[in-house]
Chains A and B, each alone.
Chain A
Amino acid sequence: MEPMDEVKTYYIKELLARGKREDNRGMFDFRQIRIKRGVIQHAEGSAQVELGGTVVLAGVKLQIEEPMEDTPKQGNLMVAAELLPLAHADFESGPPSPESIELSRVVDRGIRAAECIDLESLFIEEGKAWTAFIDLYILNHDGNLLDASSIAAMAAIMDTKMPRYDAEKKVADYTVKTEPLKVKNIVVSTTFGKVGSTIVLDTNMHEENSMDTRLTIETDGKAVRAIQKGLHGSFSVKEIESLVDVAFNKYNEVKSILEH
């Protein structure tokens, strides 16, 4: 870490130890969430999400592929994340970093585990099914890419309209958008950062630079669907249990923004 960041980090740590946050937020408050839907007309679905200063654009493309061998009657989904160099001075162009791979896989896991997309509805005919490609474009990084990306992916999925299947030519006709993609469930991701012994929701950039560990809990309001712990620090079982409660408490807040 640069000495400049260390100065900021030290300040954040002292602040949190006194139960305060840099922007005077409560410990379990999200920053303001703003969603713009349908921003990319060429995509089948899209959404740009702002979580405080973090901005993520999600685009969904549907493409005809061969079904997976073990699920011949289903379509599929793929999530990829790009940490664009324009989002932060530390992001570099090149092959996907471990961070971007983890990010996309955690978002993927939540959507898959909660069965948000009705994959059976993506089946077309023997040997043909739609695959939903969900691309996450990080446009500005100000912390908590995980929750911002999850909200963006979910909003883009809910914005998606299927292309027409040209049964004669057996190809996709992208000029016609038909019925909405069948969404069966909504998953909400809540990511906590732990700095010293203090735990906060939705870390901003400075808090993220200061944190020892983080925990992402994805729920559908009824059950926990995915969890990911990251970085070197640790949580106690008691902490995890209480954070699961917080995650459930936050579900409706984010869901109502997604459904708005």
Chain B
Amino acid sequence: MASKADRPELIIKGKRLDGRAFNELRPIKIEAGVLKNAAGSARLEWGDNRVLAAVFGPIECQPKHTSDPAKAVIKCKYSMAPFSSIGEHGRTGPNRRAIEISKVTKEAFENVVFLNEYPGSEIDIFIEVLQSDGGTRCAGITAAAVAMANAGIHMKDVMYAVSAGKVGNEMLLDFNMIEDNYSDSDMPMAISPKDNSVLLLQMDGNNSKEELKKGMEMVLEAGKKISKIQRDALLEVYRKAEANAEKGV
């Protein structure tokens, strides 16, 4: 987080710098089934974020000692491209931040996948952030959930993720990069929409209980929209094939 002393005005006349209202999402676009070699995949545009997610498996778990004879093992790798940020060329390879994000993402998916249906196997989730503008872990989870459904992995629900946080005295939904850099708090959440159970929750900064409550409400409200977009992306795979089929006759 950058120092608050040189924080630019992030809220001008009740609007955010990009013109959004406090509880407004950035535009989200998802396309499912974009990578041929993967069992399931999704390309996601979320504001200026560009994320690719792919799922491989279930396949035989390798190396053997990492396998569990009773259930599937989920392996997740989140990483950021060196050309993904405005500014200097990034470093390649996993850093501590990427490793932590990979871990909490994996744990969120362990909750919804019917692991015991795939004993001894592994399911791989790859999240590649090609362009980043704040909120990439949430964008990655949202894309990965679509990729998992696209792969036909048996699971309880298609989760989504989004964050809420504080700037000054206001709670805002879905920070972009500049808001993220100068915020007073940030709280990414992943939610199972069928019962609003929380699958991932992280937070840092400074929030009162009321602020947290407000933030969570914002997340759940926005989730309805995100779920709809995920759903449409998954359906579009079949609509597109139908349209092609009609053209073909």
Contact = CB atoms under 8 A, between A and B. Distances in A.
A–B direct touch, CB within 8 Å, in complex? yes
Interface of A: 39-43, 46, 53, 55, 57, 59-61, 63, 80, 82, 84-89, 93, 95, 133, 135, 137, 139-142, 172, 174-175
Nearest to A94: B93
Contacts of A140: 35-37
A133 B124 contact: no
Given A42-B84, A89-B56, A140-B36, A82 B92 contact: yes
Contacts of A172: 87-88
A42 B133 CA distance: 9
Given A40-B83, A42-B83, A59-B81, A86 B48 contact: no
Interface in B68-122: 77, 79, 81-89, 92-94
Contacts of A57: 81, 130
A82 B132 CA distance: 18
Contacts of A95: 93
A174 B86 contact: yes
Contact of B82 (A59, A85, A86): A59
B126 interface: yes
Given A137-B130, A140-B35, 7 more contacts: A59-B84, A63-B89, A82-B92, A135-B81, A137-B128, A139-B52, A142-B36
A39 B83 contact: no
B150 interface: no
11 contacts: A39-B50, A40-B84, A42-B85, A57-B81, A59-B130, A61-B88, A85-B124, A86-B53, A135-B83, A137-B128, A140-B37
Given A41-B48, A63-B88, A63-B89, A89 B81 contact: no
Contacts of B131: 40-43
Contacts of B50: 39-40
B229 interface: no
Contacts of A53: 36
Interface string B146-186: 00000000000000000000000000000000000000000
B41 interface: yes
B235 interface: no
A61 B41 contact: no
B190 interface: no
Contact of A42 (B35, B38, B124, B132): B132
Contacts of A133: 82-83, 89
B41 A86 contact: yes
Contacts of A87: 35, 37
B130 A141 contact: no
Contacts of A39: 50, 130
Interface string B121-151: 0001010101111000000000000000000
B77 A85 contact: yes
A80 B50 CA distance: 20
B203 interface: no
B1 interface: no
B77 A42 contact: no
A217 to B, nearest CB: 28
A46 B88 CA distance: 15
B83 A46 contact: yes
Contacts of B53: 86
A58 to B, nearest CB: 9
Contact of A43 (B35, B83, B92, B93): B83
B59 interface: yes
Contacts of B130: 39-40, 57, 59, 137
B54 interface: yes
A123 B81 CA distance: 26
B36 A61 contact: no
A40 to B, nearest CB: 5
A121 to B, nearest CB: 19
Contacts of A43: 83-84, 131
Sorted from nearest, which 10 A-B pairs have the closest CB atoms? Answer: A59-B83, A86-B54, A86-B126, A43-B83, A61-B89, A133-B89, A42-B131, A40-B131, A42-B86, A61-B83
A61 B131 CA distance: 12
Contacts of A41: 48, 131
Contact of A139 (B35, B77, B93): B35
Contacts of A60: 83
B98 to A, nearest CB: 10
Nearest to A45: B83
